[in-house]
Amino acid sequence: MKTKCTWVLGLVTLTIGLPIASAADAAANWEEYCASCHGATGKADTKMGQKLKLKDYSDAKVQAALTDEALLKATLEGVTVDGKQKMKPYAEKLTAADAKALVGLIRSFKK
């Protein structure tokens, strides 16, 4: 019990002490900004994901159809189809490095 407490405390300290926006934050950014729609593991297995008919990023075919540039652009600039914004841009919340790290994370969702 005591060791567990120390461990948790250490983890909390570590999390708070981390410098902002390192690549290791990709998972945290995903959780905070993206998972509500795209799902924790990119499968779009959320209410929003199903409503919006989002792609399943664990599907190799889906991954193959998307370029890194397209993923990066969508993340930073959002997605607009026929003049309608389907996903808002995240350029204000994320740095280019954050967005790149998220693209890496999306790639890692592939089965």
Q: Which residues bind ligand HEC (CB under 6 A)?
A: 33-34, 36-38, 48, 52, 54-55, 66, 71, 74-75, 79, 81, 86-87, 90, 102
Closest distance of CB 53 from ligand HEC, Å: 6
Buried b (16+ CB within 10 A) or exposed e, 53-76: ebbbbbbeebbeeeeeeebbebbb
CA torsion through residues 15, 18, 22, 23, sign:
negative
Nearer to ligand HEC, 2 or 84 (CB): 84
Nearer to ligand HEC, 25 or 102 (CB): 102
Closest distance of CB 14 from ligand HEC, Å: 23
Radius of gyration of the chain (CA): 16
Nearer to ligand HEC, 48 or 60 (CB): 48
Token pair 């509500």 is found at 36
